[in-house]
Structure 1
């Protein structure tokens, strides 16, 4: 009998096939690990756990970075989950997002506020803009010590709506082009709408007067749109914030790694810390 062996081309194609399938296997493993971690957290807290996590993603062929935001697909998914959750069951939402569409964030926030069970929003790292709007609807916001919320002032394209009002104040109408005037008008309406939404979300928790004060503060353009509001500042403002974030929530974020084809900018050797359950610093 003549023995058959692998040629160099067979070995090449085997390596190529394994390389091609490896990302699929890794993704499946991550998905299974996430599902187990979510189930574990739900058992521990007796709640329904929902994650809204946005990472910068890279196109598979051209390699251009794309930042994901809150969109209509997100709001549809979360609204379905909340609708399917028993009314009195606690709801835990883990947020990691730069924000996104106002209409989508508003839909999620209204559904969160309407849920009869206690709603806790966890912010491991940051929940800016529309993410902050969602957090305002929760009964409690739990942040890690260096996590941030952010202002909810509307943006029209690349322009802050509040800054367009400054143009009207500093220039004569005859010196302003029609497009800027129209955008400033839309910006004023957008600010009023976001203020009203935030005020409605906060009124039951803070009272009418304080809710109006906080909603104006967050939406009027007092700060730049990327201004970080840390936990102590959020408490000073009057938001129901604590920093007692569960270790399991922080560990959950390790299962949502940043997809990248670049050389990592942060590297370290993980060391176990028995006193803290072997937590890794990230």
Structure 2
């Protein structure tokens, strides 16, 4: 039941930020495996309207769009366990060249850098220069991915690099350093699952990393442990396991949280009832699980 960073959180961020007095520095305690890149860009720019200095604290995972958010911070505080990751996005599209069919096609996430890697393999690694062969290679790709989707992939690749550059320039002046960070995070890391710990982020990428001292480290980890339990970050969702021997059971899952001391807590909840239904069958009776949702959305607590 993973959730991702989405534009819908911007209104809730505003609710919290407007309750702050004028702040010199705002710290964003961030755990996320990713989401919409433009939502991440908007979050950074929104927070910067309310402070002079922006800091991000990373207790564990700040991947993909969450890493993009850290690029807009003057300071990134990371624990020893904390990781950043590449910012190369994926585009979810049907793997067919026709998109006008009436039937819904299965959609798959396509890595923007994977498409670029396919073309680089032909031109750089295999050194293919024959125009006819290159045309054939591109046509082969368009047999699997619609040309309009390929255009979107190209635009997305350019967009993530432009956004990263703009965020870094809010606090960095060194063009070479900016280029090095963007190049590694968008393509040279080799895989979207590549993990970047604080030593590499500081020594190789020269990002503004600050190690937490023992006291701050203890506070960061205590907060993370509290969220880890509430959001069940280490538990896979399985209706069968949740029901166990019960035929029917109510559920309430907290799937995301946005909190501040002055603004209270916004939580994204899924609530409902799981029930085993017996299906008629010639052999052994079959059972399926019916999920009757009662509520799904954000709720606020003071």
**Within 2, Cα distance between the matches of 1:107 and 1:255?**
27
TM-score, L = length of structure 2? 0.59
SS of residue paired to 1:122: strand
1:86 maps to 21
Distance (Å, rounded) in 2 between the aligned partners of 1:225 and 1:94:
23
- Within 5 Å, give how 1:143-162 maps onto structure 2: 143-157=78-92, 158-162=109-113
Higher strand share: 2
CA RMSD of aligned residues (A): 2.3
SS of residue in 2 equivalent to 1:172: helix
Partner of 2:36: 101
- C-alpha offsets along residues 134-171 of structure 1, whole Å, 9 cap, x if unaligned? 11111210010121011111111211101112334436
Q: Deviations along 1:54-97, whole A, 9 cap, x unmatched?
A: xxxxxxxxxxxx11111122232123323443343421111111
Give the corresponding residue for 2:181. 214
Maintained 8 Å contact 1:162/1:221:
no
Counterparts of 2:87 and 2:49, CA distance in 1 = 21
Pairing of 1:2-17 with structure 2 (within 5 A): none
Structure 1 gap segments, 5+ residues each:
1-65, 264-282
Aligned equivalents of 2:89, 2:188: Cα separation in 1: 8
**Matched residues in 1 for 2:42 and 2:226: separation?**
27
Residue 199 in structure 1 maps to residue 150 in structure 2: no
Bigger drift between 125-134 and 218-227 goes to 218-227
Q: Deviations for 1:88-109, whole angstroms, at most 9, x for unmatched residues? A: 3421111111011112111112
| 1:238 and 2:202 matched | no
Q: Give me the whole-angstrom Cα distance separating, in 2, the residues matched to 1:96 and 1:180.
A: 34
1:140 aligned onto 2:82: no
Supply the distance in 1 between the matched residues of 2:164 and 2:48 (Cα, whole angstroms). Answer: 11
| Structure 2: gaps (5+ residues) | 93-108, 123-135, 242-302
* Selected match of 1:182 from 148, 159, 167: 148
3-state SS of paired residue (2:23): coil
Partners of 1:138 and 1:112 lie apart in 2 by 10
Match of 2:118 in 1: 167
Pairing 1:69–2:4 present: yes
- In the alignment, the residues of structure 2 paired with residue 112 and residue 76 of structure 1 have an alpha-carbon distance, to the nearest angstrom, of 12
Equivalent residue, structure 2, for 1:63? none
Is contact 1:161-1:184 (8 Å) kept?
no
CA pair 162-180 structure 1, distance change in 2 beyond 3 A: farther
Runs of 4+ in structure 1 deviating by more than 6 angstroms, as ranges, are none
Going from structure 1 to structure 2, the CA distance change for 1:141 and 1:123 (only over 3 Å counts) comes to same
122 and 114 in structure 1: CA distance in 2 versus 1, 3 angstrom threshold: same
Q: Kindly state the Cα deviation for residue 231 of structure 1 after the two structures are TM-superposed.
A: 0.1
Q: How many residues align?
A: 198
For 2:86 and 2:64, locate their aligned partners in 1 and report how far apart those are by CA, in whole Å: 6
1:194 and 1:208, CA in 2 relative to 1: closer, same or farther beyond 3 A?
farther
Cα separation, 2, equivalents of 1:68 and 1:74: 12
If each structure's helix is expressed as a fraction of its own residues, which one has the higher value? 1
Match of 1:121 among 56, 78, 81: 56
